[in-house]
């Protein structure tokens, strides 16, 4: 192992001449320090890979009894019955996807507007900084606080709305959870959207203006088509965040394992069922089913994140190529 580091050491630093950088110390000490430094940074990097692999292995290992017992039925089964040891993830799967996609749908309007505002209208200056900091602060608020705020402010509002619409007036439910989730994920989509809009080369914008396009037309016909895939990528990353959100959703979704009839009904998500039930899950198959839900959630978020990353990467390379 050390030999690899040493080799790496030599390859990188033999050209530069280490004596020039540290002329006062002798070479041996310099090398030693460099070696320790290399070992440290290398092991940190490897450590992260080990942790990720470790999580995956643990999840697989832990969910093995459930995988064996329920197989693919785990995805179709509607029942979640810890007393009679029947477990199916369909309601929580639906709950997770519904809350996340509704949240995404609501947040797109906000995040797109904010990214256009910051990426095109106010690129610099006090107002821009003010909005930018506010958006960043939205991301910094702990999710339990969103949960509290939702419980005391959004839930009564939704309940009034439900009474007016003559729906069952729970207050908590999918729609309430989605609203709070939407606010929570705005910063993620907005900041990536802004960066992508800023990447649009000014010469094509100027060309459009020269042709007599209005600002609205430039945004609609030049900027948005150009930065489309980047914005979508931002949305995907926000979706990844929404899928795994636990605390705020648990407080607002109503935690009942039914397939919802309307979006105002209470439901449950994968993350919240784990948070709620794991501590008291005593039988092996129960624990294992909860871990399998964790495994599914892990895969769903990883895939969503990878898609987002891939789109961003492809987009930035294309832009660079076109610009260069």
State in angstroms the smallest separation of the CB of 22 from another protein: 10
Q: Is 280 in the site for another protein (CB under 8 A)?
A: yes
Residue 43 CB coordination number (10 Å): 13
State in angstroms the smallest separation of the CB of 225 from another protein: 45
Task: Provide the token pair at 165.
Answer: 């619409």
Q: Which of 170, 213, 229, 259 binds another protein (CB under 8 A)?
A: 170
Q: CB–CB of 190/104 below 8 Å?
A: no
CA–CA distance, 191 with 111 (Å, rounded to integer): 8
State in angstroms the smallest separation of the CB of 255 from another protein: 3
**Helix (H) or strand (E) run with residue 276 in it:** helix 270-277
CA–CA distance, 290 with 66 (Å, rounded to integer): 9
Q: Is 282 in the site for another protein (CB under 8 A)?
A: yes
Site residues for another protein, 14-53, by CB under 8 A, read 25, 29-30, 32-33, 36
CA–CA distance, 59 with 37 (Å, rounded to integer): 33
Q: Is 255 in the site for another protein (CB under 8 A)?
A: yes
Q: CB–CB of 56/233 below 8 Å?
A: no
Q: Which of 277, 288, 301, 308 binds another protein (CB under 8 A)?
A: 277
Q: CB–CB of 287/281 below 8 Å?
A: yes
Minimum CB distance to another protein smaller for 162 or for 195: 162
CA–CA distance, 308 with 314 (Å, rounded to integer): 10
| 263 SS3 class | coil
Find all residues with CB under 8 Å of 55, minimum gap 6, and list them: 298
State in angstroms the smallest separation of the CB of 82 from another protein: 4
Q: Is 274 in the site for another protein (CB under 8 A)?
A: no
The pattern of x and - marking residues 77 through 106 that bind another protein according to CB under 8 A reads --xxxxxx-x--------------------
State in angstroms the smallest separation of the CB of 142 from another protein: 16
Name the residue among 304, 246, 254, 294 with its Cα closest to residue 89. Answer: 294
State in angstroms the smallest separation of the CB of 182 from another protein: 21
Contact stretch for another protein (CB under 8 A) within 128-136, 170-178, 193-201, 209-217: 170-178
Q: Is 251 in the site for another protein (CB under 8 A)?
A: yes
State in angstroms the smallest separation of the CB of 230 from another protein: 38
CA–CA distance, 171 with 271 (Å, rounded to integer): 21
**Partners of residue 197 on adjacent β-strands:** none
| 87 SS3 class | strand
Q: Is 136 in the site for another protein (CB under 8 A)?
A: no
Q: Is 205 in the site for another protein (CB under 8 A)?
A: no
- Residues within the interface to another protein (CB under 8 A): 25, 29-30, 32-33, 36, 79-84, 86, 151, 155-156, 159, 168-172, 250-251, 254-257, 266, 268, 272, 275-277, 279-282
């Amino acid at each position: 192992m050390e030999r690899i580091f040493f080799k790496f050491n030599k390859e990188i630093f033999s050209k530069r001449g280490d004596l020039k950088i540290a002329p006062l110390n002798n070479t041996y000490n310099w090398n030693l320090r460099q070696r320790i430094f290399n070992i440290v940074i290398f092991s940190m990097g490897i450590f992260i890979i080990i942790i990720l692999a470790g999580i995956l292995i643990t999840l697989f290992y832990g969910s093995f009894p459930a995988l064996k017992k329920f197989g693919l039925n785990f995805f179709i089964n509607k029942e979640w019955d810890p007393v009679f040891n029947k477990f199916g993830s369909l309601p929580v799967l639906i709950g997770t996807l519904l809350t996340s996609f509704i949240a995404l749908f609501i947040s797109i309007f906000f995040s797109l507007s904010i990214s256009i505002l910051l990426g095109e209208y106010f690129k610099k200056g006090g107002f821009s900084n003010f909005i930018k900091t506010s958006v960043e602060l939205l991301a910094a608020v702990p999710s339990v606080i969103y949960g509290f705020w939702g419980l005391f402010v959004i839930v009564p509002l939704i309940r009034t709305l439900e009474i007016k619409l003559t729906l069952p007036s729970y207050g908590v439910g999918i729609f309430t959870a989605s609203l709070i989730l939407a606010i929570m994920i705005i910063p993620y989509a907005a900041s990536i959207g802004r960066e992508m809009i800023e990447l649009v080369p000014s010469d094509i914008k100027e060309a459009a203006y020269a042709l007599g396009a209005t600002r609205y037309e430039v945004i609609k016909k030049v900027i948005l088509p150009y930065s489309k895939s980047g914005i979508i990528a931002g949305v995907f990353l926000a979706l990844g965040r929404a899928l795994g959100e636990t605390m705020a959703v648990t407080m607002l979704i109503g935690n009942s394992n039914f397939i919802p009839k309307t979006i105002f009904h209470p439901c449950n998500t994968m993350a919240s069922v784990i948070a709620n039930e794991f501590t008291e899950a005593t039988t092996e198959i129960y624990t294992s089913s909860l871990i399998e839900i964790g495994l599914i959630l892990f895969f769903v978020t990883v895939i969503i994140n990878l898609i987002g990353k891939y789109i961003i990467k492809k987009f930035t390379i294309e832009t660079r190529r076109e610009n260069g």
